[in-house]
Amino acid sequence: MEKGIIRFVALLCAIGSLGLSWAFGVFITIPAREGRLLAMTGVELQIIGISLAACLLVAWGSLHLLSLADRVEHPAAFRGVRIGYGVALIAAAMSGVAWSMARVVSL
């Protein structure tokens, strides 16, 4: 029962991190498309930095919780989940980029 609760909380954290990864992809699109990643305004830097930092912290927390439940008993499965979760985070960011590219028109 205890491991089930830990896994459920880790799942909730993972879902939140995927949402934050998607938001990072949405926010990074415009400066990247306009070629001004190194010349962003302070507000853009804050939005992008906070979404990236929060995404990484929540993802780390999710994997940490999952390791409490499964790392010792199922190390191969835990390794697979880590790799799959990293791929899912990248896919979420790319889907945010695709969403933003399809809906935002530059002036």
Q: List pLDDT tens digits, range 87-105.
A: 999 999 999 999 998 887 6
pLDDT at 31: 87
As a 3-state breakdown, the chain gives helix, strand, coil percent values, each rounded to 5, of 85, 0, 15
The pLDDT of residue 37 is above 90:
no
Contacts of 93 (CB under 8 A, 6+ apart): 21, 22, 24, 25, 28
**Predicted confidence band of residue 106 (pLDDT cuts 50, 70, 90):** low
Q: Max alpha carbon distance in the chain (Å)?
A: 55
Q: How many residues does the chain have?
A: 107
pLDDT at 51: 93
- The reported pTM is 0.86
